[in-house]
Amino acid sequence: MDNILVATDLSERSRLAVRRAALIAAAARARLHVLHVVDEAQPPEIVEAHLSGASAWLREHLPSDCEAATADVIVREGDPHSQIIAVGDELSVDLIVLGEHRERLLLDAFVGTTAERILRVASRPVLIVHSESLEPYGRVHIATDLSEPSAHAARTAHRLGLLGEKTSVIHVFQAIGKGKLQPVAPPAMWESSAVPIVPEFPNASDPPTSLCAEVP
């Protein structure tokens, strides 16, 4: 990876995303771009004050959150999800990192969260951070529906170095009449017609294990 973009709304949720993005950037020796978008649907004087204030706040606090990574600050005016995608394209970033969204029930119900809107239309990999960790990813579960898009997601995570030392590939299918989750022998489609995900990592020192399970 050469470039990573992390978006922040200056909340603690976003700071978790910034710290995770900094860890990934440091490990990959990538450039980290920290973006804050100011909502343009406000009076001009408020927008201007927010733009300058956000830039100053980020430059003051970024050093403590991005100790191991080289980071720059970008502050834009506009619609958050559109600007995040636009900046990602302008910089040709390899990964977009977002924090957990702030719940706004009515707005989310009609237009979706910023993260959901980005996931629907972004042409670049997106990582959503929900919790804090000061260590690289150690154990990763890859959920698959045995489709090519699932295999593509697994290949992308591997290419970006996001898989941990222990990786599991999990497929869950509907088992009519069953009352609980239980591991079962992989069905024939896993062995024959499924997109082969585990063989995607021939050079892995500890290749992924696989589990096929059925649910009611």
Domains of the chain, residue spans: 3-129, 139-215
CATH T-level fold of 3-129 = Rossmann fold (3.40.50)
Task: Report which of 25, 70, 8, 56 is spatially closest to residue 161, judged by C-alpha positions.
Answer: 25
Cα separation of 34 and 23, whole Å?
Answer: 13
**Does residue 65 surpass a pLDDT of 80?**
no
And the tokens for 87?
Answer: 């900046």
Please give the share of the chain, as a percent, with pLDDT higher than 70: 74
The whole-number average pLDDT for the span 35-52 is 87
pTM of structure: 0.77
Cα separation of 43 and 41, whole Å?
Answer: 7
CA 93, distance to chain mean position in Å, is: 13
**pLDDT of amino acid 67:** 73
**pLDDT of amino acid 198:** 52
And the tokens for 159?
Answer: 């290419």
Task: Report which of 12, 32, 14 is spatially closest to residue 24, judged by C-alpha positions.
Answer: 32
Say how many C-beta atoms besides its own lie within 10 A of residue 179's C-beta.
8
Asked if 128 and 100 count as a contact pair (C-beta separation under 8 A), the reply is: yes
**Does residue 110 surpass a pLDDT of 50?**
no
CA distances from 27 to 13, 18, 62, 68, 168 (A): 22, 14, 18, 9, 22
Cα separation of 184 and 67, whole Å?
Answer: 46
With the C-alpha atoms ordered 81, 83, 86, 88, is the resulting torsion angle positive or negative? negative
Strand blocks (E) in the chain: 3-7, 31-38, 71-77, 95-99, 126-129, 139-143, 166-174, 182-183, 209-215
CA 44, distance to chain mean position in Å, is: 33
**pLDDT of amino acid 108:** 43
For strand 126-129 and strand 31-38, is the pairing parallel, antiparallel, or unpaired? Answer: unpaired
**pLDDT of amino acid 193:** 42
Q: Which of 80-94, 126-140, 176-190 has the lowest mean pLDDT?
A: 176-190
Tens of pLDDT, residue by residue over 175-184, are 665 555 555 5
